[in-house]
Structure 1
């Protein structure tokens, strides 16, 4: 063990004498070995010296596509029991993060997710109202580095998001989708796979996917000046300007300032536009090639649970809304950028009816039922995306859409670039699928009682995804 690591080890041993016990890891090929027990009191407040690796390198280290790295979380037993009893509450508890010999303590830890993330993994059987105790081995988790006033960042990040990928048994859709967006010039969250241990116990393989926050903005938009908004459309379904409250509630950065002027101005321009002026509004406030690239990829991978699926609660147009997207407003250049999100169901709609709930009825640019809500497949009502004023303006860029779509097919589909990347990552994660199967399912013969995705189930899901990609 080198001197610097030995010093960290000795420092933590001293903490044990104070009654504060914590796991320390000595990394070997990115596989830490826990060597102590879970604390029964508050975790220590460890002040970094300044020479730790996580303070010296940026987020490219975390999202290195060639590595599967290991992370450890230490959570007091009573706190872990509390969040396990009600994951949908998404309550933070105190924890410690251990990574490649460094310990960051304390940090905030909570379960995270939406309806899909919790479905089938909580004791309440009604997936539409997630509640009850944790029943799956894995649930998506968020680790907040800037916890309780902590100023240090972890490889220039404030948060880590570990996605359980319980819905996607191939555990490859999310990462592959974001990679395609990025390759097409659309700024999108970076995603890799990672091993996660919780309180000395191997939890499994997760998708480590970038949080869309101020650190994301500063990485991709170097000046980083502007707001990020989650799932708010600039205009309502009836074409009127969205309310100030809706914009403010959707703010994910600079919440105290509540400066919504640019997105509101964008919304006002869309609301005032018509079929002949919508293109001018888009040109003024957006990068046309970027948004056309977004749309080409979104439709190619059939992200049908995304911004072009307008779900409706009833027969009223204004009950319709879309989801799973972010906006970044570049205040300096006065441009709006669309950011993709939630990719675990991508590609599956290549096969009609693969998911009755998320399927979109219309092809790009088409409308149905005179732009009124209608029932499709599952009984869930939807409204055609092209009935929305902003989407209709995007549809009007037909020449640009077709040109970029042709480039996409030639550069990614015809030459099997996507399949090549898919096969590479399937091979990369296969040992860890086997590892989780061996660790969690040993001695369990009933398939329904298996705690982790089995190799058989994973291989079947990989073959299905391969077929869907080939159908692009």
Structure 2
């Protein structure tokens, strides 16, 4: 049953846009907006690095018929695009597709009882070529605006993705933006690069045309599983390499399983990925295998790219709003670390105060292969602690990014109060030391395990 509070939110926003008086009527029923000047041709082929590295917060305006805006919000779960006129920094982007987006925690929960007002804002997605073939924005076909409702600091995605890239792991670029619909402010959002064909062209320029999968793991030989997960090359892909990967892992153990993993993935890169994943307390990422209703378990919040020439697989992180929070991570305290294999692998472990159950990640075939190389794990953790995660460096990034978004936080009608946000940022800054200490403990534990202590 859809939640009445979110329908009320939709109606309230519709009323705001419709309540612009004669100016709205003169615009054919549209709400009042700031002027949107002729298009800037340069933004279509602009450098994406310049967009995400900007030293200010860009503004995006979307103009919809009031009825369309109300219907879009009331049917947010459908995640279907509607027509919208878009502006970027007062330059017209013309007609685009606009919709809401999100997973269970950022969209579906907003329409479930008995929670009360869990979602002050919803994430949105723009598709620039939905109605005009070939249209691009800074060479991108799509752009994500994440609501950050699970992140009190509004810094997690930028900090997390930066850390992955600093460790040589391919990851989306991100920044921030403010959104307006029919002249009414929706507030501050995280602006995140879409992981799609344009992303693979940019990140894998020498091997750009491979298959991209969302949350696919080498756990089955069923091609239908991979067909449901693929997001590029949908019509041509056979999934043979993914199936062979799953077969090889299932048929081996111990050192032989590590060797099988090494033929399909760059193990050193995977260790660097896991070092960052551990450091940012990514309890909702690839190590968390949620138990599903039929009894199986699956992880999420990542992409896998299959390089066409080498046949190797690369993991790309996604959805980091739940990271960098010691308090949230403690809800997963009973779960063994991925380098540990418990005696009972079929045990359902309660997490989130019993609201969900997971399986130990060390029982997974891929992680059981990776934990055969504990020295590689230790090297990656040391490199992280001596480099991007060293004392003082991340604190300086927190200070710099917080200053960048401070005024936008103060102006956000659906965001945290400035003093509350400032306290949460200060708390994150303090908790970075605890996160480093935890990583040091993992480093010592890996050393003891390698010695057989």
Name the TM-score class by shorter chain. 0.7 to 0.9
Distance 2:372 2:255 in 1: 9
Corresponding residue for residue 454 of structure 1: 417
Distance 2:329 2:261 in 1: 34
Stretch moving more, 207-216 or 272-281: 272-281
CA offset digits 1:90-140 (Å, max 9, x no partner):
121111221134322221100001111126644x3257xxxx9x9844210
Is the aligned partner of 1:361 residue 2:335? yes
Work out the number of aligned pairs and report it.
407
Corresponding residue for residue 22 of structure 2: none
Distance 2:45 2:357 in 1: 51
Corresponding residue for residue 265 of structure 1: 244
Tell me the secondary structure at the aligned position of residue 305 of structure 1.
Answer: coil
Distance 2:27 2:302 in 1: 46
Tell me the secondary structure at the aligned position of residue 189 of structure 2.
Answer: strand
Distance 1:58 1:414, change over 3 A: closer
Distance 2:433 2:377 in 1: 22
Task: Say which of 211, 228, 238 aligns to 1:227.
Answer: 211
Corresponding residue for residue 435 of structure 1: 411
Is the aligned partner of 1:125 residue 2:113? yes
Is the aligned partner of 1:71 residue 2:60? yes
Corresponding residue for residue 11 of structure 1: none
Corresponding residue for residue 313 of structure 2: 336
Distance 2:204 2:314 in 1: 10
Q: How big is the alpha-carbon RMSD for the aligned residues of Structure 1 and Structure 2?
A: 2.6
Distance 2:385 2:394 in 1: 10
Distance 1:413 1:355 in 2: 21
Distance 1:251 1:396 in 2: 29
Distance 1:435 1:138 in 2: 15
CA contact (8 A) 2:285 2:299 kept: yes
CA shift, 1:267, in A, is 2.0
Distance 1:361 1:137, change over 3 A: closer
Distance 1:35 1:327 in 2: 42
Structure with larger RCO (C-alpha < 8 A, sep 6+): 2
After TM superposition, what 4+ stretches of structure 1 lie above 4 angstroms from structure 2?
18-24, 134-137
Distance 1:386 1:65, change over 3 A: farther
Task: Say which of 403, 409, 414 aligns to 2:385.
Answer: 409
Distance 1:360 1:247 in 2: 31
Corresponding residue for residue 34 of structure 1: 34
Distance 1:58 1:269 in 2: 41
CA shift, 1:21, in A, is 9.3
| Structure 2 spans left out of the alignment, 5+ residues | 1-25, 436-453
Stretch moving more, 62-71 or 336-345: 62-71
CA shift, 1:58, in A, is 2.7
Corresponding residue for residue 443 of structure 1: none
Corresponding residue for residue 124 of structure 2: 141
Matches within 5 A, 1:185-200: 185-200=168-183
Distance 1:167 1:269 in 2: 38
Distance 1:86 1:55, change over 3 A: closer
Distance 1:370 1:202, change over 3 A: same
| Structure 1 spans left out of the alignment, 5+ residues | 1-17, 25-32, 37-45, 236-240, 441-450
Distance 1:269 1:424 in 2: 46
Distance 1:302 1:135 in 2: 23
Is the aligned partner of 1:291 residue 2:254? no
Distance 1:397 1:186 in 2: 19
CA contact (8 A) 2:96 2:127 kept: yes
CA offset digits 1:62-100 (Å, max 9, x no partner):
212533211111122111100111211212111122113
Tell me the secondary structure at the aligned position of residue 407 of structure 2.
Answer: helix
Corresponding residue for residue 195 of structure 2: 212
Corresponding residue for residue 432 of structure 2: 469
Corresponding residue for residue 446 of structure 2: none
CA contact (8 A) 2:188 2:415 kept: no
TM-score, structure 1 length as denominator? 0.80
Is the aligned partner of 1:115 residue 2:104? yes
CA shift, 1:23, in A, is 9.4
Tell me the secondary structure at the aligned position of residue 387 of structure 2.
Answer: helix
Distance 1:364 1:469 in 2: 22
CA shift, 1:22, in A, is 8.3
TM-score, structure 2 length as denominator? 0.83
CA shift, 1:184, in A, is 0.5
Tell me the secondary structure at the aligned position of residue 35 of structure 2.
Answer: coil
